[in-house]
């Protein structure tokens, strides 16, 4: 029996350049003040969970969230970086607004909506590409830490493709679940994964 326990935390709200809806992807931006507060609320709520280790994706917004969560604990927590848990790469679209891309490349913008699984922006990944690296990255996180109970700070895209895979959902339902900033999702991974909690939000 697989007794591992995985706490998946979406990072806190980052600073959004321009303050409008953008393709963020792997653009490296820090947490906003609100995001730091969300991370602290999550850290306090999880302070009593006996994590063996904490991993982050290596992007600044995830690393800062992990540091804040770790700082809420009485004892130090081993921390590692697993780059396979980074957000989807959006290539040349990263940092640009939805409106800008729709105006400059309307056909590509529309294709992304129609061909959700396979479309990738220039120089970027598709959601299928993302899904192929997520499950191995989670196994890597357990392997490099030797953890049984693991906290993993990652991104909304990672969580969405993971749930689509676990529940065998059609790609059109990729956005059926909401994963809020600072939200906590709990799984028992393994051959027959069990979902114990989805998008629990300590900050609320």
Active-site positions read 11, 87
Q: Is 97 exposed, middle or buried (0-12, 13-18, 19+ CB in 10 A)?
A: middle
Q: Nearest to residue 135, comparing CAs of 171, 156, 162?
A: 162
Spatial contact of 53 and 148, defined as CB atoms under 8 Å apart = no
Q: Nearest to residue 8, comparing CAs of 31, 34, 42, 41?
A: 42
For residues 31, 171, 126 and 128, what is the CA-based torsion angle, rounded to 10 degrees? Answer: 110
Task: Give the HSE-up count for residue 94: Cα atoms under 13 Å, Cβ half-sphere.
Answer: 16
């Amino acid at each position: 029996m697989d007794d591992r326990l995985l706490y998946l935390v979406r990072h806190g709200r980052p600073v959004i350049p321009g303050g409008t809806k953008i393709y963020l992807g792997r653009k490296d931006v820090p947490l906003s003040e609100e995001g730091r507060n969300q991370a602290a609320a999550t850290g306090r709520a999880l302070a009593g969970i006996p994590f063996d280790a904490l991993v982050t994706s290596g992007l600044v917004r995830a690393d800062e969230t992990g540091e804040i969560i770790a700082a809420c604990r009485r004892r130090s927590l081993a921390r590692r970086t697993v780059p396979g848990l980074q957000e989807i790469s959006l290539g040349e679209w990263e940092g640009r607004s939805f409106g800008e891309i729709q105006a400059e490349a309307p056909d590509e913008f529309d294709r992304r909506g129609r061909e959700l699984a396979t479309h990738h922006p220039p120089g970027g990944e598709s959601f299928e590409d993302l899904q192929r690296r997520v499950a191995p990255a989670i196994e890597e996180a357990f392997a490099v830490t030797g953890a049984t109970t693991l906290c993993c700070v990652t991104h909304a895209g990672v969580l969405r493709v993971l749930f689509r895979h676990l529940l065998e959902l059609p790609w059109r339902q990729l956005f059926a679940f909401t994963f809020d900033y600072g939200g906590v999702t709990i799984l028992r991974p393994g051959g027959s994964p069990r979902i114990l909690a989805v998008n629990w939000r300590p900050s609320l």
